[in-house]
Structure 1
């Protein structure tokens, strides 16, 4: 119902929906001006045009309501937004997995939940050799430049090196991103400015790593991460992701593109029609 109300109140929806009916009535007016019809015939023509216009507007309305995916062109870059499973994409596509700022890898439902994307990733690709991934991250010269604090005291355990939010470690065809901050109780959290800055840094890191390949990104911030000083539903989080992509000046040229994946029922909370406005007006 909320989507219906937003679309009905949207000025751009009515402007675009009235183009076809307006053309029909314009053509009919021209014909009626130059061709003589009796009164009953004119009435039937006008009633027919009104009926066609009403049906067309209903079609546009229901089409907008039933959208489940959309493609946007943001400053020349293609972004597709849809529901999907990140682990079903092929090897020639980079998939983004969100970690915390320490790149913790212990899947114990305390530090990392088994049901989270990074928990699934670690259990799927490192079921018995998690120390191998830990070693690769700590020895990576690029990642060493992104450490902002060493030997951090963590009362409940976990790694000791804190990385800059938005930093990416490239592991095979996956981009592992330091996305959320962890407090002393190992709870993931972010403030609004941290969330926005993290995304801007993330897009800039992607720009240097994606090698003209498609990049698939989950809706970042929609999991267990707590928003400390703001509240945001999936649609608002998606708008922030798009806004930070736009101001980061990252360019994805064909055949590369960005795909933002919606998990579970998040697609039901997205007003896909409203996202089209971003192409023209931004957010």
Structure 2
């Protein structure tokens, strides 16, 4: 219903604009009725095309953080990509997917289940190796999962299947394993993960989900979260990812994201 309403709204706008344009040329009245009929059909076709374009915005846009850092925002599946892939995890770098510690429908849960379900011991060993030189805080009261807590924004990289996966500590966990992201640290986390990605990307593209929009995430609309992420990337002036950072979003329309609006807002902001 909403799509139909938007379609007819844009359709009438287009028809009105074109009709006003043609009405300015009174000499058209001198043409035969068949020519006028063709023109009328042309107006309708253009109006339909315009309305369809407006209600079905693009599925991918390209922006530039700087001359060597293109940003792509696109619809897709993060786990179908090849290159450097960013995976948000909790501050404990847990690997137990039981819908209590890690939910199976989160990116963290899908990463463990899709890639390491039969190799959890190997994954735990790689994570421990990458974290061994990073300062942590022991939480001996935690009954399940890892007990070492790492600062938010901590990033480690793991290679598997030709891809490099950057695991970034995005969320705090309370005593009930409820996730949250402190707003005051959110921007810093984004900048840290972008810096980490630039150091391991080389000639590979980097793929990132919409960080902070999942369970326990930022309580803001996805469109605002996306623009905030882009604005944080803009201030990473010394960062270069020549093959681009791809922000991959599963089902854009379900999240209420309009890429035309994002592109227009970005172009206005950088003027």
Structure-2 residue corresponding to 1:83: 75
1:151 and 2:141 correspond = no
1:239 and 2:227 correspond = yes
1:183 and 2:147 correspond = no
SS in 2 for 1:276: helix
Q: Give the C-alpha shift of residue 218 in structure 1.
A: 1.3
| Distance change (3 Å), C-alpha of 1:51 and 1:280 | farther
Q: Give the C-alpha shift of residue 54 in structure 1.
A: 8.0
| Distance change (3 Å), C-alpha of 1:55 and 1:247 | farther
1 CA distance for matches of 2:36 and 2:134? 68
Contact 1:156 1:185 (8 Å CA) reproduced? no
Contact 1:214 1:258 (8 Å CA) reproduced? yes
Q: Give the C-alpha shift of residue 167 in structure 1.
A: 2.4
1:36-47 alignment, distance < 5 Å: 40-41=29-30
Q: Give the C-alpha shift of residue 213 in structure 1.
A: 0.8
TM-score, scaled relative to structure 2: 0.76
Structure-2 residue corresponding to 1:165: 152
Task: Report Cα offsets for 1:101-123 as digits up to 9, x if no partner.
Answer: 11111112211122222222212
* Runs of 5+ consecutive residues of structure 2 not aligned to the other structure: none
Contact 1:166 1:205 (8 Å CA) reproduced? no
Contact 2:62 2:72 (8 Å CA) reproduced? yes
Counterpart of 2:260 (choices 247, 263, 273) is: 273
1:194 and 2:210 correspond = no
Structure-2 residue corresponding to 1:128: 118
2 CA distance for matches of 1:61 and 1:119? 40
SS in 2 for 1:195: helix
User: Which aligned runs of 4 or more in structure 1 are off by greater than 4 angstroms?
Assistant: 44-58, 264-268
2 CA distance for matches of 1:239 and 1:170? 26
2 CA distance for matches of 1:106 and 1:266? 31
| Distance change (3 Å), C-alpha of 1:132 and 1:61 | same
SS in 2 for 1:239: helix
Q: What is the aligned length? A: 255
2 CA distance for matches of 1:270 and 1:86? 17
1 CA distance for matches of 2:114 and 2:80? 13
2 CA distance for matches of 1:68 and 1:154? 49
1 CA distance for matches of 2:43 and 2:188? 47
